[in-house]
A and B are shown apart, each in its own frame.
Chain A
């Protein structure tokens, strides 16, 4: 058994902070969604910066980050959206590993860009594994801290870590999170339920609604209308993260990681490399879609993997 140590006491939980890892796989046939981090690029880099192996659990903070009191010495890295992290009232650099000491206060002073920040700790956030994952699944009441977001007074443990202080990489490789984004998609699985409005889908700009969370992002825009003579719903079927539902009202919903089954038509599916970009969009941000073929999506995925490999080279 790895050595456990208390690392944080939660003073304020922030808007919505959960423990997440890369997700819970193998249980979708039983109605258990994958969960896990939404921005997998920021997550993987955060773990790499503190010397964690991939798959260790981190905190995912949303818009308003938590206030955490440090209980023991440790090493952290914050990546993803810039929610203005401060350590003891001094701005804390993101995308690099930083030492923390007992009684330090880590807090966030407001969103500057993006929507979700990832806080990785050397050794990983240590909570019990449930069905092969530490990811919080709130509706299923499992993972993380008792299957719920952090609450004031929670105490978090970490595993044993070995990272180094001051690890960083070339700033060219740090993503920027804009408020007007292009999301690349592959058509389908139910694009045949639409005809001329497929064009409208790709030329429109949609606004991210306030009703957006880890289950899905609701968009607002010119309604996308189904082809004449087809049903507007389908026999319920499982969805993958990134599936874009078009319900009868024509306002698309990008399904994310806590959705299992749905009965609405899905016009297109976000490529895996761009799901993190969706998760970094805030209510009010604008999204437009661009179609790519599957071969291009796979090439983009390979490039993303190479980018992470080159970041890891920097860290050695």
Chain B
């Protein structure tokens, strides 16, 4: 499934290392392994490493190194991955209050798929989702693993404001909005957990390559957790 890595220049301070041409967990696992190995044992001159669905973006200091030298080092790293102690991925649980004001589109998602709202919640909470990549807005997870039983197209007209914490579905994707932003996803619930807290440690809760599960909580639990979070 994984191809021989392709190296693609991205300007004079960065390049992409591509491990495959599709979205699948096996390629992403390779991305995670190389990424964690580069985080753990940095290569001289590398300034930033960003994991993606199927590639790694390497930023470097051109006064200290060059792409050719880095290419050799990265291929060498790939061949010796078994010598690098990579921890297994973690699974994080995200509590979600589903429906009503928290998820105004839950009814629509149910109707669209000829299910009851309870069945949508049951299906959404029974999946384990791979965090392929973080981006778009700070802390926004690109998740894989949504059951096709609840695939739902985007809203025809995006909302001007989707509140932070909203959990949504767009076609074959599910995700969480970390900050207030405009958005066109079908909103089915909301989490009181903060995915993005600029002054927190760490400021971003999720990490690419790990897994995520949703847990259904009551509106009362939501309020309690929200209060605990915000002091």
Contact = CB atoms under 8 A, between A and B. Distances in A.
Interface of A: 25-32, 130-131, 139-142, 186-190, 235-243, 260-261, 266, 269-272, 294, 297-298, 301-302, 305
Contact of B13 (A26, A187, A261, A272): A272
B140 A130 contact: no
B138 A298 contact: no
Interface stretch (B53-61, B81-89, B147-155): B53-61
Contact of B63 (A28, A271, A305): A305
B57 A130 contact: no
Given A131-B203, A140-B198, A236-B53, A261 B135 contact: yes
Interface stretch (B42-50, B72-80, B90-98, B220-228): B42-50
B16 interface: yes
Given A25-B47, A29-B134, A31-B135, A272 B11 contact: yes
Contacts of A271: 11-12
A181 to B, nearest CB: 18
A30 B8 contact: no
Contact of B140 (A31, A302, A305): A31
A270 B196 CA distance: 31
A29 B50 contact: yes
B52 interface: yes
6 contacts: A30-B203, A30-B204, A31-B139, A236-B142, A240-B13, A243-B10
Interface of B is mostly: loop
A32 B138 CA distance: 5
A188 B13 CA distance: 13
Interface string B115-158: 00000000000000000011111111010000000000000000
B67 interface: yes
B165 interface: no
Given A26-B48, A29-B51, A189-B10, 5 more contacts: A29-B207, A241-B11, A269-B12, A271-B11, A301-B63
Given A131-B203, A240-B59, A31 B138 contact: yes
* Interface residue tally on B, bucketed by range: 35 or more
Given A188-B9, A261-B136, A294-B12, A28 B67 contact: no
A142 B62 CA distance: 29
B152 to A, nearest CB: 20
B11 A270 contact: yes
Nearest to A292: B12
B12 A189 contact: no
B150 to A, nearest CB: 22
B179 interface: yes
A63 B66 CA distance: 37
Nearest to A190: B8
Contacts of A27: 138, 203-204
Interface of A is mostly: mixed
B199 interface: yes
Interface string B6-20: 001111111110000
Contacts of A237: 16, 52-53, 55, 57
Given A27-B204, A31-B138, A130-B198, A235 B53 contact: yes
Contacts of B198: 130-131, 140-142
Given A141-B179, A142-B198, A189 B138 contact: no
Contacts of B63: 301-302, 305
Contacts of A190: 8
Given A29-B49, A29-B134, A30-B203, A269 B54 contact: no
Contact of B16 (A189, A242, A261): A189
Q: Which 9 pairs, one residue from A and one from B, show the smallest C-beta to C-beta distance?
A: A261-B135, A269-B11, A189-B8, A297-B12, A30-B204, A31-B135, A188-B9, A260-B135, A142-B198
A179 to B, nearest CB: 25
Nearest to A301: B62
Interface string B187-217: 0000000001011000110011000000000
A236 to B, nearest CB: 7
A32 B203 CA distance: 10
B138 A261 contact: no
B51 A240 contact: no
Contacts of B50: 28-29, 238
Given A25-B47, A29-B49, A186 B11 contact: yes
B161 interface: no
B12 A272 contact: yes
Nearest to B199: A130
A242 to B, nearest CB: 5
A158 B6 CA distance: 47
A25 B14 CA distance: 14
Interface string B173-186: 00000110100000
Contacts of A238: 50, 52, 57, 135
